[in-house]
Amino acid sequence: MCRAFGTQGEPVLLSDASLGAWRVGWLVLKQIGDPVEADYIAVVSAALPMVARPVQTDAGDWLAGGWGATEWIDAKPEPERWDEVLAIGEGLHAALKGLRPDWPDALAARTTPWAIADRVAWHEQPVPAELSAEVQASMARALELVPAHDDRPVQVVHCDLAGNVLFPARGPGVVIDLSPYRRPVGFATAVAVLDQICWHGAPAERSDLIDPGDLARAAVFRIVAAALQSEAAGRAEAERATPLLRCP
């Protein structure tokens, strides 16, 4: 598999072991769960200068044996650079606006916890019945604040930005691990700000930067996704996110 991507060397497990990402030589290799999504991300990423560059196999494919590859970047995440991360997100979303290829229909039917949570946040499916009564009760406030309608234009957005910007010693930040959805940009920004507060030490006052409805959707998105992985994770996410919500 390494040979297919033109690299060799001793594999080094990267810090995010849950994603199965390894550095081998000049590449980062990552296990792929959804080939359609991975192909789409690779094609889109290849057109964006601020995103880690995907690498094709010697046969011209983006995947080999269930793995994908991007170029190794000598940089580190610094999520506490809150304003810089959001500015990079603005540039990314400006570049993503109207970008081809077209959104694959198959991505609308994804069944990952995050894809389900996204649809719940946008009233496209009900709250999963398997969530505990405690978790459902704790997110009731967020659900009440989620707008029933939203007429803003949608585009491809990155809904996991906060911890996925790497900063090299010199030069601009680089975005990694695109998490693509077709939603208004404000929703992606709200998820990033929520994550900055809940996970990266940002002050709660940063929630004032975003629309209350977007903040509520972001809270639902994170709570449901966490709860579908474990009840304890969902409860903890709700305890972090719901105090930030405010009436519009």
pLDDT classification of 16: cutoffs 50, 70, 90? low
Res 231 pLDDT > 60: yes
The mean per-residue pLDDT over the stretch 4-14 comes to 83
The H-assigned helical ranges of 97-184 are 113-121, 133-138, 140-145
Residue-wise pLDDT for 39-64, tens only, equals: 999 999 999 999 999 999 999 999 99
Residue-wise pLDDT for 183-223, tens only, equals: 999 999 999 999 999 999 999 999 999 999 999 999 999 99
- Name the most confidently modeled range: 13-27, 58-72, 215-229: 215-229
Mention every residue, 6+ apart, whose C-beta is less than 8 A from residue 24: 2, 7, 8, 9, 10, 11, 12
Provide the angle, in degrees to the nearest 10, between the axes of the packed helices 185-199 and 231-241.
100
* Percent with pLDDT over 70 in the chain: 97
pTM of the model: 0.94
The rounded distance, in Å, linking the Cα atoms of 219 and 240 is 9
Q: What pLDDT score was predicted for residue 160?
A: 97
More confident position, 192 or 134: 192
